[in-house]
Chains A and B, each alone.
Chain A
Amino acid sequence: MSEVLARAACRAEGTARTYEEAIREAGALLVEGGAVEPAYVEAMLERERTMTTFMGNGLAIPHGTLDATDQIRRSAISVVRYAEPLDWKGSPVRVVVGIAGVDGQHLEVLSRIALVFADTEQAQRVADAGTTDELYDLLAGVNA
């Protein structure tokens, strides 16, 4: 089974300027990795409209609705980092973690990401990661 967080699903130079674009950007990485159907990205946008996925400490974790679970082929996570903060419905976001989870397989990984971002210093280090390799290496521990 492939890792939940793949290097190919990481991007240190996000190009989106709005949170909608950022969701599409994180969602596209999941689609490219073959983890979800394209329709899942629409579900991610829909979910964001009902409630923000801004988590604090510059992190947002867009994911689909409960109904969209059948558009997930395997659990996967994508990470996009932005050099300038995005306006996430009024909150500043530097790192967007796109989530596709089935049967709770992603929860382990998600918890580890949570622990990274709960620590302000570590969260800052991730937000400052200039290259995709640096970004992946900072977070790769989450696959272990």
Chain B
Amino acid sequence: MTTTASAAPTLSRGRTAQVRLQRFGAFLTGMIMPNLPAFLAWGLITALFISVGWLPNEMLGGFGNADLPGAWQGAATQLVLAEDGTTFRQYLGLVGPMVTYLLPLLIANSGGRLVHGERGGVVATIATLGIIVGSTVPMFLGAMIVGPLAAWVMKLVDSLWDGRLKPGLEMLVNMFSAAIVGGAMSVAAFFGIAPVVSQISTWLGDIVAWLADNGLLPLMSIIVEPAKVLFLNNAIGNGVLVPLGAQQVVEQGKSLLFLVEANPGPGLGILLAYTLLGVGAARSTAPGAMFVHFIGGIHEVYFPFVLMKPVLIVAAIAGGMTGVATNVVFGSGLVGPAAPGSIIAVLAQTSRDSYLGVILSVVLSATVSFLVAAVILRASRKRDLAAGESGDLAAAVAQTEANKGRSSAALSSLVGATGTAAPVRTIVFACDAGMGSSAMGAAVLRDKLRKAGIEGVTVVNKAVATLDDDAADLVVSQRELTERARQHAPTTRHVSVDNFMNSPVYDDVVAEVGASRAAAGAGEAP
């Protein structure tokens, strides 16, 4: 407990910055996440059909001469320079266009939607084509900048005449304004933004190349591993490593950058150490966490285990560095991002020539982080047992949820299933004025919780207008009000009731909270 408590003030000082970074990370994730199937499809097609793939196919892989006899007529081709100085028509294939056009355009569309809905998505996509054809490197970074920017411009333009249009002209004005903004942004991106982003991409690529040339790539883990535990991994992973990795795949056919953050090895080692050398609830929970982490690819389940003994971050860093170093030595990498960071996703995206290196990087990083964590746990084991620190996992889960900025389904389902802390600590009943119906509903639920012998759950009532995402883990409101409540607290879980006096929903909530409480109680018992 002492370690967690002493870490808390530092955290709250940097809290605003951290929340901003997390919001930024969440925005980046919102652009990448919906399109991961496309990344995966590209990864699979690349792994199969490129010239060094499992089923090399010159038409799909885009490396065959379409002028030779027996060519597949009608397929898209491009003129390329042969080694002897002549030109020939080469198949365009799927791999190149997917990474050059499909993925950035999808990202731009998602980013535009986040800013300004469907309309923002369309304008973002138009504008992003400008940056794609205005440069020679894959425009992931460009799409992430130009897409939201174009949608934002559209939003500004729309607000100019919002509600002031003559009826009957809306459609005409809306169509042409989007076309003009999209077209203009596309041209602006071609001439103005593409060179800048190309330059930035080159610099970032140069930094990575410099790190690689000097054998310093493993140092990335010093930043990445602590950032993961503080839930800043999305900003780093999706914002920097995935775009750079994709660029490397185009140039080298694979990239180890995809594995820097996604390698499940370091977390596995720490959980294994807890399984063998931990005490109390942490020890009994670790095996379940291992499964969720390693197979499910949900890394956040190991963060609480690090937070309850922050010095373990050393184990994570050592493991991460080992993994990167292994891939450097073997020249191994993935052909696309492994998301989630499950061993299955990692193997599915492994380059054909890289199985040995990639598997070794996972195994070795797990081994190293296990050894370091084992030494740390071993050294403090007697003291932990004496201090009865077995209940700390609940506090650490709470800390993890605080770091994430909201409660986590993965964390709570894990701890719920395997027995430590409760996911729902604060329940808010929301009604219009916050003085009547919500107060009664809160009273009824409080009573039900009390009768079920559940303690430590705060149930309060509020006016809908005063709700925000920090207010509660769960918001209960009347059916007609739930939509409004959701607008005020979009990331919180909401449930609707028809009848505040005796809703079946109450029993569900009591059962859910009760199950996790009971498990937590069992975990805390000496």
Give residues in A with beta carbon < 8 Å to B.
47, 50-51, 53, 55-57, 59, 61, 63-66, 99, 101, 104, 106-107, 110-115, 117-118, 120, 123
> In the complex, are the beta carbons of A55 and B437 less than 8 A apart?
yes
Instruction: Evaluate contact between A110 and B499: CB separation under 8 angstroms.
Output: no
Asked whether, in the complex, the Cβ of B435 is within 8 Å of the Cβ of A118, the reply is no
**Considering the complex of A and B, which 6 residue pairs feature the smallest CB-CB distances, nearest first?**
A111-B443, A56-B499, A56-B501, A114-B440, A114-B443, A63-B436
B434 at the interface (CB under 8 A from A): yes
Q: How far is the CB of B457 from chain A (nearest CB, A)?
A: 15
B502 touches A56 (CB 8 A): yes
Does B481 make an interface contact (CB < 8 A)?
A: yes
Is B501 a contact partner of A57 (Cβ separation < 8 A)?
A: yes
Known: A110-B443, A111-B446, A118-B447. A53 touches B436 (CB 8 A): yes
| 9 A-B contacts (beta carbon < 8 Å) | A56-B502, A63-B433, A66-B434, A107-B461, A111-B439, A111-B446, A115-B443, A115-B444, A120-B502
**How distant is the Cα of A51 from the Cα of B431 in the complex, in angstroms?**
10
Q: Are B501 and A114 in contact (CB under 8 A)?
A: yes
Contacts of B499 in A (CB 8 A): 55-57
- In the complex, which residues of chain A have a beta carbon less than 8 angstroms from the beta carbon of B441? 114
Instruction: Verify if B351 is at the interface (C-beta below 8 Å from A).
Output: no
Min CB gap B481→A, angstroms: 7
A53 vs B499: C-alpha distance in the bound complex, in angstroms? 10
Taking CB atoms, residues of chain B closer than 8 Å to A113 are: 440
Docked complex Cα distance between A115 and B461 (Å): 15
Whether B478 is near chain A, meaning CB under 8 Å from some CB there, is: yes
Decide yes or no: A51 and B478 within 8 Å by CB, A61-B436, A117-B501 being known contacts: yes
Hey, which chain B residues are within 8 Å of A65, CB to CB?
432-433
**Chain B residues, Cβ within 8 Å of A123:** 501
B184 CB-CB contact with A under 8 Å: no
- Contact between A101 and B502 (Cβ–Cβ < 8 Å)? no
CB distance from B452 to the nearest CB of A (A): 14
Q: What is the CB-to-nearest-CB distance from B430 to chain A, in angstroms, rounded to a whole number?
A: 12
- B219-262 CB mask vs A (1 if < 8 Å, else 0) is 00000000000000000000000000000000000000000000
B348 to chain A, nearest CB (A): 51
Interface residues of B in 312-328 (CB under 8 A from A): none
Determine the distance from Cα of A110 to Cα of B439 in the docked complex, in whole angstroms: 7
List the B side residues contacting A107 at CB < 8 Å: 435, 439, 461
B67 at the interface (CB under 8 A from A): no
Q: How many residue-residue contacts, CB under 8 A, span A and B?
A: 78
Asked if A111 contacts B433 (CB within 8 A), the reply is no
Bound CA span A64–B463, Å: 13
18 more A-B contacts (CB under 8 A) besides A55-B500, A56-B499, A118-B444?
A: A47-B432, A51-B432, A53-B436, A55-B437, A55-B440, A55-B501, A56-B498, A56-B501, A57-B499, A57-B501, A61-B437, A99-B436, A107-B439, A110-B443, A111-B440, A114-B440, A117-B501, A123-B501
B150 proximal to A (CB < 8 A):
no
CB proximity of B459 to chain A, nearest CB, Å: 10
B498: chain A residues within 8 A (beta carbon): 56
Asked whether, in the complex, the Cβ of A99 is within 8 Å of the Cβ of B443, the reply is no
Question: Quick check: B435 and A56 within 8 Å, CB to CB?
Answer: no
Question: Which residue of the partner chain A has the closest CB to B480?
Answer: A51
In the bound complex, what is the Cα–Cα distance between A123 and B503 (angstroms)?
15
Interface of chain B residues 456 through 489 with chain A (CB within 8 A): 461, 463, 465, 478, 480-481
- In the complex, whether B442 has a CB less than 8 A from a CB of chain A is yes
Query: Which residues of the partner chain A approach B437 to less than 8 Å between Cβ atoms?
Result: 53, 55, 61
- Whether the pair A114, B463 counts as a contact (CB closer than 8 A) is no
**Alpha-carbon separation in the docked complex, A15 to B27 (Å):** 59
Query: Quick one: given A51-B481, A118-B444, A118-B447, are A106 and B501 in contact (CB under 8 Å)?
Result: no
Contact pattern, B 407-440, Cβ under 8 Å of A = 1, otherwise 0: 0000000000000000000000000111111011
Closest to B478 in A: A51
Shortest A112–chain B CB gap in Å is 7
A111 touches B501 (CB 8 A): no
Tell me the bound Cα distance from A106 to B443 in angstroms: 12
Query: Nearest A residue to B463 by beta-carbon distance?
Result: A66
Q: Do residues B500 and A56 form an inter-chain contact, with CB atoms below 8 A?
A: yes
Cα–Cα, bound, A97→B461 (Å): 18
State how many angstroms separate the Cβ of A117 from the closest Cβ of chain B: 6
A111 touches B442 (CB 8 A): yes
Taking the closest CB of chain B, its distance from the CB of A121, in whole angstroms, is 12
With a CB–CB cut-off of 8 A, which chain A residues contact B434? 66
- Report whether A115 and B433 are in contact in the complex, using a CB–CB cutoff of 8 Å: no
What is the bound-complex CA distance between A61 and B436, given in angstroms?
Answer: 7
- Chain A residues, Cβ within 8 Å of B480: 51
Provide the bound-state CA to CA distance between A78 and B434, in Å: 19
**Option from A47, A51, A59, A115 in Cβ contact (under 8 Å) with B447:** A115
Tell me whether B443 and A57 are in contact (CB under 8 A). Answer: no
Query: Could you say which of B433, B436, B501 contacts A118, with CB atoms under 8 Å apart?
Result: B501
For A61, list chain B residues within 8 Å (CB): 436-437, 440
Per a CB cutoff under 8 Å, which of A57, A110, A112 touches B436? Answer: A110
Q: Is the CB of B433 within 8 A of A47?
A: yes
> Bound state CA distance, A127 and B491, in angstroms?
41
